[in-house]
Homo-oligomer: A and B are copies of this chain.
């Protein structure tokens, strides 16, 4: 059994074999195809998920139907923890961006398993604290940066997490449409498209469908701040 997948999750990276197996035993697997929804904002549910393979988007919808993406998550990343510790309806909709596989774990099982493993509890705390820090950064960006700046930042973040460096640049298969990228940075599709076109015309990157090749990380980073 592949405890390795669990080890990818930063939270569980330090587990010994026994602990990993015990945890793994109480988890089950879910699979989704691109576009399918795991759960909706407002649903009830207390399961925690870990993405094993593929990518998902966490999004919220405004009353008038517009959409905003909070995050794109890939292998090893965890979500749904909010409903674990702060009971209440799910605060975001989770949709598969590519075909995706997850492990799921229920509230009760996690808490039971957590008993007597205070180190993991501390790990969870620092995980949440890190998220919170990141959320605050997003707020700051929305207040301080213009749309091209936010696009640059988002691309760099995606590159860090999903990029593969080759000799012609960093290949980032983000699997997002420009529409989704726009929702991620809180801007319109058109504006994002123009920002991308501008970056490309300066030779900082090359556009490919649902993917970019970043050729000048340095310049792009400078534009991001």
When the two chains form their complex, are residues A132 and B66 in contact, meaning their CB atoms are under 8 A apart? no
In the complex, chain B residues whose CB is within 8 Å of the CB of A86: 126, 129-130, 133
When the two chains form their complex, are residues B128 and A62 in contact, meaning their CB atoms are under 8 A apart? no
When the two chains form their complex, are residues A85 and B129 in contact, meaning their CB atoms are under 8 A apart? yes
- Mark out the residues of chain A between 111 and 166 whose CB falls within 8 Å of any chain B CB in the assembled complex: 111, 115, 118, 121-122, 124-126, 128-133, 135-136, 138-140, 142-144
* Chain A interface residue count, Cβ-Cβ cutoff 8 angstroms: 38
A92 → B minimal CB distance (Å): 7
Complex Cα gap A82–B122 (Å): 13
The reply to whether the CB of A60 lies closer than 8 angstroms to some CB of chain B is yes
Task: Tell which of B60, B82, B142 touches A129, judged by Cβ atoms closer than 8 Å.
Answer: B82
In the complex, chain B residues whose CB is within 8 Å of the CB of A129: 81-82, 84-86, 128
A225 and B128 in contact, given A91-B133, A135-B136, A139-B139 (Cβ under 8 angstroms): no
Chain B, residue nearest A91 (CB): B133
In the complex, chain B residues whose CB is within 8 Å of the CB of A201: none
In the complex, chain B residues whose CB is within 8 Å of the CB of A60: 136, 140
When the two chains form their complex, are residues B82 and A132 in contact, meaning their CB atoms are under 8 A apart? yes
When the two chains form their complex, are residues B186 and A142 in contact, meaning their CB atoms are under 8 A apart? yes
The reply to whether the CB of A15 lies closer than 8 angstroms to some CB of chain B is no
Task: Tell which of B133, B139, B144 touches A66, judged by Cβ atoms closer than 8 Å.
Answer: B144
In the complex, chain B residues whose CB is within 8 Å of the CB of A124: 125
When the two chains form their complex, are residues B122 and A85 in contact, meaning their CB atoms are under 8 A apart? yes
In the complex, chain B residues whose CB is within 8 Å of the CB of A138: 139
In the complex, chain B residues whose CB is within 8 Å of the CB of A121: 118, 121-122, 125
By a beta-carbon cutoff of 8 Å, the part of chain A in contact with chain B is 60, 62-63, 66, 68, 70, 81-82, 84-86, 88, 91-92, 111, 115, 118, 121-122, 124-126, 128-133, 135-136, 138-140, 142-144, 186, 225
* Further pairs besides A82-B132, A132-B132, A142-B186: 14, Cβ < 8 Å: A60-B140, A66-B144, A82-B129, A82-B133, A84-B129, A85-B122, A85-B128, A88-B133, A91-B133, A111-B122, A115-B118, A131-B132, A139-B142, A142-B143
